[in-house]
Amino acid sequence: MKNCKFGVFGYPITHSLSPIMQTAAFDALGMSNCEYKAYAVEPGNLMEEVLKAQAENFCGLNLTIPLKEKIIETGLIIPDDFSKKAGAVNTLHFKGGKDGEIYGYNTDAKGAAKALEYAGCDTFGKKILIIGAGGASKSISLYFGEAGNSLKIINRTAEKAQRLAEEIAEKTGNVNVFGGGFESGWDDLKEADVIIQTTELGMGKYEDVSVFDQLSLGKDETNNKTKDEMKDELIRECLENKTVFDIVYNPEETKFLREAKAAANVRALNGMMMLVFQGALSFEIWTGKKPDANVMKEAVLEALRSKSRHESE
Ligand code: ATR
């Protein structure tokens, strides 16, 4: 029997790649006494299931949608400073075993920062544009707000981005955090050095939509350009030589990344290494060991590709 248990709680949880990724990390370090599995946990049962895991001697857990915020409400855990401010926890550590305290962390945003670094993007002092104002945007904005970056958050619903920007400015003391809608989207793209896309555009039912489709193209002065030509021209004008990061990893390339790469010379990255690094950071919290991010990446890539092979068969 495995004597060091780990897992991910979420609802639904069937698509989680964490078991494959974390198991690859354990195997690569020869930690064959560790197991990592996915568990479907409804929000209403979260407290009970976390306590049950603790009683069963689990070492650590990841939490995913819709449990990251919920766990704080239960009052069961001690969140660290960042996850408390973010209002979301994705990593639990049963540090003191069965009867000890349960500590909470948020490795999502640091995972995003490490993914940018891995891609060769130095974010120090850079102007960052964050598209979207949901949960993912919140922890990423908080992270870069704390790092002192100048931030603009834009969202379909402008008020939500404005509220988030105010919250980040207040929590971090960073006065260069602004929020708004999509009206001045092209100017915002032009102003930024690094662009981070955090909405669900490009995946699932929005597979054929990119944020560029939602920005106004203005008027065609010459009247002889197609909409696509106008869009490409604006993308080139606003994104040339910049870093464009879409946190979506399935599909591997969203329409947003595809359009950016086709029209301009950009450093483009998807969310796969963010997934890998948030998992690697959780792994380190639990075990004190640094896992091999490349081994984890290969496991994720293989799983995604075999899934898409099966789907196309
Ligand atoms: P997550 O936790 O993954 O960030 P979320 O909290 O539900 O998810 O936030 C979803 C984000 O995607 C929001 O920024 C949302 O914009 P609104 O606040 O205007 O709803 C954005 N989003 C979702 N569907 C969208 C669409 N069709 N067009 C533009 N933005 C969309």
pLDDT digit string (tens) for 123-144? 999 999 999 999 999 999 999 9
Q: How far is the CA of 133 from the centre of ligand 1 (A)?
A: 7
Exposure class string for 78-89: b at 16+ Cβ within 10 A, else e: ebbebbebbbbb
90 lines ligand 1 (CB under 6 A): no
Confidence of residue 3 (pLDDT cuts 50, 70, 90): confident
List alpha helices for the chain, DSSP H: 18-28, 46-55, 70-74, 81-86, 108-118, 135-146, 158-172, 185-191, 227-239, 255-263, 272-287, 293-312
What pLDDT digit, counting tens, does each position of 72-101 carry?
999 999 999 999 999 999 999 999 888 899
* Atom 18 of ligand 1: nearest residue by CA position: 157
Q: Is residue 10 within 8 Å of residue 40, measured between CB atoms?
A: yes
What digits encode the pLDDT tens for the residues 45-79?
999 999 999 999 999 999 999 999 999 999 999 99
Rounded to whole angstroms, the Cα distance separating 313 from 183 reads 42
Question: What pLDDT shows up at residue 312?
Answer: 73
Per-residue pLDDT tens for 183-240? 999 999 999 999 999 999 999 999 999 999 999 998 777 778 899 999 999 999 999 9
Contact 98, 54 (CB under 8 A): yes
Q: Which pLDDT value is given to residue 1?
A: 59
Pick the catalytic residue from 5, 52, 68, 110: 68
Work out the mean pLDDT of the chain and round it to a whole number.
Answer: 96
How far is 52 from 236, CA to CA, in rounded Å? 54
Residue with token string 């092979």: 309
Average pLDDT over residues 172-178: 98
Calpha distance 197→266 (Å, rounded):
14
State the pTM of this model.
0.96
Give me the residue label for tokens 């958050």.
153
Residue 310's pLDDT band, with cuts at 50, 70 and 90, is: confident
Query: Which of 289, 301, 227, 238 lies closest to 265 in space, CA to CA?
Result: 238
pLDDT in tens, 152-168: 999 999 999 999 999 99
Q: What is the pLDDT of residue 223?
A: 74
CA of 206 to the centre of ligand 1 (A): 11
Between 224 and 9, the more confident residue is: 9
Give the separation between CA 167 and CA 286, rounded to whole angstroms: 31
Distance of CA 266 to the CA centre of its chain: 20
User: Can 205 be counted among the known catalytic residues?
Assistant: no
CB 281 within 8 A of CB 304: no
Cβ of 137 less than 6 Å from ligand 1? yes
Torsion of CA 106, 108, 114, 118, to 10 degrees: 150
CA of 177 to the centre of ligand 1 (A): 19
Peptide bond into 251 cis (omega under 30): yes
pLDDT of 26 > 80? The answer is yes
Cα angle for residues 26, 32, 36 (degrees, 5° grid): 55
> Is 307's pLDDT higher than 70?
yes
Contacts of 60 (CB under 8 A, 6+ apart): 6, 91, 92, 93, 94, 282, 285, 286
State the pLDDT at residue 209: 97
pLDDT at 309: 77
Question: Does any ligand 1 atom lie closer than 6 A to the CB of residue 172?
Answer: no
Q: Which of 108, 127, 134 is nearest to 201 (CA)?
A: 134
